[in-house]
Amino acid sequence: MTKLIILDRDGVINQDSDQYIKSVDEFVLLPNTVAAIVALKRANYTLAIATNQSGIARGLYTRTDLHAMHIKLQAQLTAHGAAVDWIAYSPYLHETPCRKPNAGMYQAIAWRFGLSSLTDVPVVGDSWRDLAAALSVGARPLLVKTGKGAQTAVQQAEGLANASIPVVDDLAAAVESLGVSL
């Protein structure tokens, strides 16, 4: 059986910006991201990213720009013997089934890896929409305080408590909470 983890991108893996991450130069990994992903791969996790990228529909950057950012990510990981197995993204601005908080990207990831269910699959995000999408498919959400996560922890405190969603400092802490050593 595939041991899968799903990560949001902006604010979890790389720095986030209210003005969007629009270029390779703006795509900067957060501290400990590489170590966390290397540890996940060493523990035999299949790693998928699910990311809303409405900046494409807004005309702020192109799909080519987005792919260049992902090539940069993969190159940085490959230098350490790791890689992301699949990246799903939604380039749309308006609500669609594939845009979080809807579950379409997560369902596409399950299909891609031949999983009939995402029950108990860890999903790491920094916004309520990441967590809501995870809850809707029975996955196990974790909130990181990086990116918009600290703000989400305050604004959604009741929802986090009601759903028993753990709040951790960053991706490295999320990985360690899964029992994976860095």
Residue 14, in any domain of the structure: yes
What's the CA gap between 149 and 126, in Å, rounded?
Answer: 4
**Domains in the chain, number:** 1
Express each pLDDT in 76-114 by its tens digit: 999 999 999 999 999 999 889 999 999 999 999 999 999
The one catalytic residue in 10, 16, 126, 130 is: 10
| Overall pTM > 0.85 | yes
The one catalytic residue in 8, 16, 126, 130 is: 8
DSSP 3-state assignment of 93?
A: coil
Express each pLDDT in 113-172 by its tens digit: 999 999 999 999 999 999 999 999 999 999 999 999 999 999 999 999 999 999 999 999
What is the domain extent for residue 34? 4-177
Residue 182, in any domain of the structure: no
What's the CA gap between 2 and 53, in Å, rounded?
Answer: 27
Residue 144, in any domain of the structure: yes
The reply to whether 85 belongs to the active site is no
The reply to whether 25 belongs to the active site is no
Q: How far is CA 45 from CA 30, 117, 160, in A?
A: 20, 16, 25
Residue 72 neighbours by CB under 8 Å, 6+ apart: 24, 27
Residue 107, in any domain of the structure: yes
Residue 123, in any domain of the structure: yes
CATH number at residue 47: 3.40.50.1000
Q: How far is CA 43 from CA 103, 108, 147, 154, 165, in A?
A: 26, 23, 25, 32, 23
